[in-house]
Amino acid sequence: MSCFNTLSLKGDVAVEVELVDYTIIQQLNADTRGKDAPTDVLSFPFLNFEPTSLPLAFTKQSYPLDFDEKLNAVFLGSIVICPEVAIAQASEYGHSEDRELSYLFIHGLLHLFGYDHETEKDKKVMRALEEKIL
């Protein structure tokens, strides 16, 4: 809800979240991004958005082809998190494990909404949103 409030969105969305081990996240990272190394979180958007033109409402009327009747929501995509990496990062950054896992979920969710951190400008925007949502 905090993410929706921060981004001024309405409606109902569904996101698949999978927690995987070090080996699986490394293989996913290699297969999907060409990086043969473990990572903390990967996002797989089902829809494509530009952060500057996010819809205000995720409803059946707005997304008739992407509205999942069973979930009663618009399906955004999948987020894969590696708790092993998250725990190590929490220790490294001096955070609680809960905070790090929450941060990674928010980070992944923002990617599903089209945000990225490819440029310094984009990175600053995304980081500010992450902290505000946390």
**pLDDT, tens only, 31-59:** 999 999 999 999 999 988 887 777 678 99
**Domain housing 71:** 2-133
Residues 58-82: tens digit of each pLDDT:
999 988 989 999 999 999 999 999 9
**CATH code for position 87:** 3.40.390.30
Residue 130 has pLDDT above 60, yes or no: yes
Q: How many domains does the chain have?
A: 1
CA pair distance 112, 133, nearest whole angstrom: 15
pTM attached to this predicted model: 0.91
The confidence band for 1, taking pLDDT boundaries of 50, 70 and 90, is low
Closest Cα to residue 133, out of 116, 110, 112, 115? 110
pLDDT reported for residue 26: 97
Name the burial class of residue 106, with classes exposed (0-12), middle (13-18) and buried (19+) by CB atoms within 10 angstroms of its CB.
buried
